[in-house]
């Protein structure tokens, strides 16, 4: 039957419900601040929100969102192709283009639609998309929709990228290469200097998804390509507003004039309502703060490095490098579920990631840090992982 394929997932959800554990879709009943909330009836430190600069509660962002809602209403009720292009959308696009020093930018309603839509549109039948094996689901989805030939290279392996481009021969010059700045599961950064060198040698078009590196790396928060000094090798910067900018939405910035034609060829742009004015206004405010206040980035990295070192010193297996995403790897799913619940009971909310969503065979207790976390909160997170149950679960 049509719905039989969902029976295994239904069984997993039933088992979790019977155990009183709800790690997927845990309900936030009240937000107290950018770093605290009431989740499942408990007051917790939020250590799994991707709110990297802590701007979701910034009073400047909130005030601009409130003013925009009063001025423009609650929604656009239409796509950008119809009635949904407001002056605020154009202003945000101009500000994003200015951030990257590029002439062209376009804004999407979500980050998922930005990466999916562009991958599905830029390449087509007869073309090649060559993507990092650990790419986000939105990238895989767009590549599948494109009808292009889809090839993967080993995660963060420029030598494997080079090998596959070499095998493509003349086709390499028109290949769309897709990588991320920071990968969302383990928090590792792409070797963009080496990837850019390969791209320059063989040709192709390089797309960098800066979803988790916007605001986190680079001058004025421009991202991983800027931090690596290879922004000039990037053909398409894509990203989201739902991490460092504390809102929702996505974007693409590019040096190519063809982006304006791409705009009117991308279904994920054409056939969805545009972002609400309040969201655009808060995003613009957050973008300006990100560019003007580098101390937020420095604070984020201080928190990230302290948490990474603290968890590593407990004997836990952590990701390959410190960063705004700090993951603890656990071999056993049931142990991970129990450890997640123990952390929640201790007042710490983190993300639980289990195969096949995790990039390895392990389950992850995934933390994401914020510039808004206090020293005391970082200490509490480390102490919670030192709990005998959670600690014993993670020691490999």
Residues annotated as part of the active site: 184, 212, 243
3-state secondary structure of 263: helix
Residues whose CB is less than 8 angstroms from the CB of residue 7 and which lie 6 or more positions away in sequence, other chains included:
none
Q: Which residues contact 345 (CB under 8 A, 6 or more apart)?
A: 42
Distance CA 130, CA 153 (A): 7
- Residue 295 token pair: 């101390």
Nearest Cα residue to 118 out of 36, 230, 240, 248 = 240
Q: How many CB atoms lie within 10 A of CB 62?
A: 17
Contacts of 92 (CB under 8 A, 6+ apart): 107, 280, 283, 284, 287
C-beta separation of 241 from 280 below 8 A: no
- The packing angle between helices 375-385 and 333-345, to 10°, is 140
Torsional sign, CA 289, 292, 295, 298: positive
């Amino acid at each position: 039957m049509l719905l039989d394929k969902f029976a295994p997932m239904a069984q997993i959800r039933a088992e979790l419900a019977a155990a009183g554990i709800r790690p997927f879709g845990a309900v936030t009943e009240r937000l107290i601040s950018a770093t605290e909330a009431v989740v499942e009836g408990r007051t917790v430190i939020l250590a799994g929100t991707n709110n990297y600069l802590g701007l979701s509660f910034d009073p400047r962002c909130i005030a601009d969102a409130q003013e925009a809602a009063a001025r423009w209403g609650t929604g656009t009720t239409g796509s950008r192709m119809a009635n949904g292009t407001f002056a605020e959308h154009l202003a945000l696009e101009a500000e994003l283009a200015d951030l990257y020093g590029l002439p062209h930018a376009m804004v999407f309603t979500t980050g998922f639609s930005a990466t999916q839509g562009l991958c599905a549109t830029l390449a087509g039948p007869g073309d090649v998309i060559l993507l990092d094996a650990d790419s986000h689901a939105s990238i895989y989805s767009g590549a599948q929709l494109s009808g292009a030939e889809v090839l993967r290279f080993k995660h963060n392996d420029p030598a494997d990228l080079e090998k596959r481009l070499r095998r493509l021969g003349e086709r390499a010059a028109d290949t769309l290469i897709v990588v991320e700045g920071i990968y969302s599961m383990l928090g590792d950064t792409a070797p963009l200097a080496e990837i850019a060198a390969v791209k320059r040698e063989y040709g192709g078009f390089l797309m960098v998804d800066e979803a988790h590196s916007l605001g986190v790396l680079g001058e004025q928060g421009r991202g991983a390509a800027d931090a690596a000094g290879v922004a000039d090798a990037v053909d398409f910067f894509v990203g989201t507003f739902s991490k460092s900018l504390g809102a929702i939405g996505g974007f693409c910035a590019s040096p190519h004039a063809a982006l304006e034609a791409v705009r009117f060829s991308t279904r994920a742009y054409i056939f969805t309502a545009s972002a609400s004015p309040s969201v655009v206004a808060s995003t613009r405010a957050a973008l300006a703060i990100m560019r003007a206040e580098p101390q937020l980035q420095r604070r984020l990295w201080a928190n990230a490095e302290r948490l990474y070192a603290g968890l590593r010193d407990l004997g836990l297996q952590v990701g390959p490098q410190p960063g705004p995403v700090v993951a603890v790897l656990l071999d056993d799913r049931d142990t991970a579920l129990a450890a997640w619940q123990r952390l929640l009971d201790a007042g710490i909310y983190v993300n639980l990631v289990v195969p096949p969503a995790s990039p390895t065979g392990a389950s992850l207790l995934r933390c994401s840090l914020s510039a808004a976390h206090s020293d005391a909160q970082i200490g509490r997170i480390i102490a919670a992982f030192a709990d005998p149950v959670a600690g014993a679960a993670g020691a490999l």
